[in-house]
Protein backbone atom coordinates (compact mmCIF):
# COMPACT_ATOMS: atom_id res chain seq x y z
CA UNK A 1 0.00 0.00 0.00
CA UNK A 2 2.86 2.36 0.81
CA UNK A 3 4.42 1.75 -2.61
CA UNK A 4 1.08 2.49 -4.27
CA UNK A 5 0.74 5.74 -2.31
CA UNK A 6 4.30 6.74 -3.27
CA UNK A 7 3.27 6.28 -6.90
CA UNK A 8 0.14 8.42 -6.42
CA UNK A 9 1.67 11.21 -4.31
CA UNK A 10 3.48 13.08 -7.13
CA UNK A 11 0.15 13.58 -8.93
CA UNK A 12 -1.46 14.85 -5.74
CA UNK A 13 1.41 17.26 -5.14
CA UNK A 14 0.67 18.97 -8.47
CA UNK A 15 -2.95 19.47 -7.42
CA UNK A 16 -1.90 20.68 -3.96
CA UNK A 17 -4.17 18.14 -2.27
CA UNK A 18 -3.78 17.17 1.36
CA UNK A 19 -3.72 13.56 2.46
CA UNK A 20 -5.47 12.34 5.60
CA UNK A 21 -4.30 9.15 7.29
CA UNK A 22 -6.60 7.11 9.55
CA UNK A 23 -5.17 4.18 11.50
CA UNK A 24 -6.75 1.48 13.65
CA UNK A 25 -5.32 -1.85 14.88
CA UNK A 26 -6.33 -3.79 11.73
CA UNK A 27 -6.24 -1.28 8.86
CA UNK A 28 -5.00 2.04 7.53
CA UNK A 29 -6.85 4.50 5.28
CA UNK A 30 -5.20 7.13 3.07
CA UNK A 31 -7.77 9.69 1.92
CA UNK A 32 -7.68 12.74 -0.37
CA UNK A 33 -10.42 14.59 -2.23
CA UNK A 34 -9.96 12.27 -5.21
CA UNK A 35 -8.35 9.05 -3.90
CA UNK A 36 -8.99 6.58 -1.09
CA UNK A 37 -6.71 3.62 -0.36
CA UNK A 38 -7.34 1.07 2.38
CA UNK A 39 -4.88 -1.56 3.53
CA UNK A 40 -5.83 -4.33 5.94
CA UNK A 41 -3.48 -6.21 8.25
CA UNK A 42 -3.20 -9.88 7.37
CA UNK A 43 -4.01 -12.00 10.38
CA UNK A 44 -1.22 -14.54 10.82
CA UNK A 45 1.87 -15.15 8.74
CA UNK A 46 2.11 -13.97 5.17
CA UNK A 47 1.63 -16.99 2.87
CA UNK A 48 4.66 -18.65 1.27
CA UNK A 49 4.63 -17.39 -2.31
CA UNK A 50 8.21 -18.17 -3.41
CA UNK A 51 7.48 -21.82 -4.36
CA UNK A 52 5.00 -20.78 -7.08
CA UNK A 53 7.39 -18.35 -8.79
CA UNK A 54 9.34 -20.22 -11.48
CA UNK A 55 13.12 -19.78 -11.10
CA UNK A 56 13.74 -20.56 -14.80
CA UNK A 57 11.54 -20.85 -17.86
CA UNK A 58 11.84 -23.14 -20.88
CA UNK A 59 10.56 -20.52 -23.31
CA UNK A 60 10.62 -16.72 -23.31
CA UNK A 61 8.49 -14.49 -25.50
CA UNK A 62 9.55 -10.84 -25.80
CA UNK A 63 6.76 -8.66 -27.13
CA UNK A 64 5.66 -5.02 -27.29
CA UNK A 65 3.55 -4.37 -24.21
CA UNK A 66 1.31 -1.80 -25.91
CA UNK A 67 0.76 -4.01 -28.96
CA UNK A 68 -0.16 -6.98 -26.75
CA UNK A 69 -2.56 -4.81 -24.73
CA UNK A 70 -4.27 -3.69 -27.96
CA UNK A 71 -4.46 -7.28 -29.21
CA UNK A 72 -6.02 -8.45 -25.95
CA UNK A 73 -8.60 -5.68 -26.03
CA UNK A 74 -9.55 -6.40 -29.65
CA UNK A 75 -9.82 -10.18 -29.34
CA UNK A 76 -11.51 -10.08 -25.93
CA UNK A 77 -14.74 -8.89 -27.54
CA UNK A 78 -15.15 -12.41 -28.96
CA UNK A 79 -14.42 -14.12 -25.66
CA UNK A 80 -17.14 -16.12 -23.94
CA UNK A 81 -18.16 -16.16 -20.31
CA UNK A 82 -14.82 -17.68 -19.25
CA UNK A 83 -12.95 -14.63 -20.64
CA UNK A 84 -10.59 -17.04 -22.39
CA UNK A 85 -8.07 -16.09 -25.05
CA UNK A 86 -5.56 -18.51 -26.56
CA UNK A 87 -1.97 -17.53 -27.27
CA UNK A 88 -0.72 -19.59 -30.23
CA UNK A 89 2.95 -19.60 -31.24
CA UNK A 90 3.68 -18.74 -34.85
CA UNK A 91 5.36 -21.49 -36.88
CA UNK A 92 8.52 -19.45 -37.46
CA UNK A 93 8.76 -18.15 -33.84
CA UNK A 94 8.39 -14.57 -35.09
CA UNK A 95 4.91 -13.88 -33.75
CA UNK A 96 2.19 -15.03 -31.41
CA UNK A 97 -1.43 -15.18 -32.45
CA UNK A 98 -4.22 -14.35 -30.03
CA UNK A 99 -7.44 -16.21 -30.69
CA UNK A 100 -10.83 -15.91 -29.05
CA UNK A 101 -14.09 -17.42 -30.17
CA UNK A 102 -17.63 -18.00 -28.99
CA UNK A 103 -20.51 -19.60 -30.91
CA UNK A 104 -22.79 -16.62 -30.30
CA UNK A 105 -20.15 -13.87 -30.67
CA UNK A 106 -17.96 -15.07 -33.52
CA UNK A 107 -14.19 -15.25 -33.43
CA UNK A 108 -11.22 -12.94 -33.52
CA UNK A 109 -7.54 -13.43 -34.34
CA UNK A 110 -4.70 -10.96 -33.94
CA UNK A 111 -0.99 -11.51 -34.66
CA UNK A 112 1.64 -9.76 -32.55
CA UNK A 113 5.32 -9.64 -33.55
CA UNK A 114 7.51 -11.37 -30.99
CA UNK A 115 10.99 -12.72 -30.32
CA UNK A 116 10.64 -16.29 -29.06
CA UNK A 117 13.52 -18.20 -27.44
CA UNK A 118 13.41 -21.82 -26.33
CA UNK A 119 10.77 -24.48 -26.71
CA UNK A 120 7.56 -25.14 -24.87
CA UNK A 121 3.81 -25.29 -25.28
CA UNK A 122 2.61 -24.23 -28.73
CA UNK A 123 -0.66 -22.89 -27.29
CA UNK A 124 -1.79 -21.57 -23.91
CA UNK A 125 -5.15 -20.17 -22.85
CA UNK A 126 -5.56 -17.37 -20.30
CA UNK A 127 -8.30 -15.34 -18.70
CA UNK A 128 -7.67 -12.16 -20.69
CA UNK A 129 -8.71 -9.91 -17.80
CA UNK A 130 -6.02 -11.31 -15.50
CA UNK A 131 -3.40 -11.15 -18.25
CA UNK A 132 -4.32 -7.55 -19.08
CA UNK A 133 -4.16 -6.57 -15.39
CA UNK A 134 -0.59 -7.85 -15.34
CA UNK A 135 0.47 -5.95 -18.44
CA UNK A 136 -0.91 -2.69 -17.03
CA UNK A 137 1.40 -2.95 -14.00
CA UNK A 138 4.51 -2.37 -16.10
CA UNK A 139 5.75 0.89 -17.62
CA UNK A 140 8.31 -0.39 -20.11
CA UNK A 141 7.74 -0.82 -23.84
CA UNK A 142 8.55 -4.55 -23.94
CA UNK A 143 7.59 -7.41 -21.64
CA UNK A 144 9.03 -10.91 -21.38
CA UNK A 145 6.59 -13.78 -20.93
CA UNK A 146 8.27 -16.83 -19.37
CA UNK A 147 6.58 -20.20 -19.95
CA UNK A 148 7.33 -23.73 -18.71
CA UNK A 149 4.23 -25.87 -19.34
CA UNK A 150 0.47 -25.43 -19.90
CA UNK A 151 -0.25 -26.32 -16.25
CA UNK A 152 2.50 -24.19 -14.66
CA UNK A 153 2.53 -20.50 -13.66
CA UNK A 154 3.58 -18.01 -16.35
CA UNK A 155 5.89 -15.12 -15.44
CA UNK A 156 5.58 -11.64 -16.94
CA UNK A 157 8.55 -9.32 -16.34
CA UNK A 158 10.68 -6.61 -17.95
CA UNK A 159 14.38 -5.82 -18.28
CA UNK A 160 13.84 -2.31 -16.86
CA UNK A 161 12.03 -3.42 -13.69
CA UNK A 162 13.86 -6.59 -12.54
CA UNK A 163 12.21 -6.70 -9.10
CA UNK A 164 8.67 -6.51 -10.49
CA UNK A 165 7.08 -9.74 -11.72
CA UNK A 166 3.50 -10.79 -12.42
CA UNK A 167 2.36 -14.40 -12.19
CA UNK A 168 -0.66 -15.68 -14.13
CA UNK A 169 -1.96 -19.23 -14.46
CA UNK A 170 -3.09 -20.61 -17.81
CA UNK A 171 -6.63 -21.98 -18.07
CA UNK A 172 -6.87 -25.72 -18.67
CA UNK A 173 -8.31 -26.50 -22.10
At 87-121, the pLDDT tens digits run 999 888 899 999 999 888 899 999 999 999 998 87
Single pTM value for the model: 0.74
Domains in the chain with CATH codes: 2-40 (no CATH), 51-168 (3.10.150.10)
Q: 173 pLDDT band (50/70/90 cuts)?
A: low
DSSP 38-65: EEEPPSSSPP--GGGS-SS-SEEEEEEH
pLDDT attached to residue 14: 67
Which of the pair, 80 or 112, is modelled with greater confidence? Answer: 112
- Condensed to tens digits (0 to 9), the pLDDT of residues 118-138 reads 988 789 999 999 999 999 999
Q: Cα-Cα-Cα-Cα dihedral of 132, 133, 134, 137, to 10°?
A: 120
pLDDT (mean) for 23-34: 84
Integer Cα distance of 54 and 169 in angstroms: 12
Amino acid sequence: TIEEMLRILPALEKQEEFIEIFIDPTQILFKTQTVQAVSRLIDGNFPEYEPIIPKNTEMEIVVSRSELINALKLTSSFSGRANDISFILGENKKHIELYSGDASLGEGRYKVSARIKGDGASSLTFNWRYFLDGLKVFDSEEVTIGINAPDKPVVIKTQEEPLLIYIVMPIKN
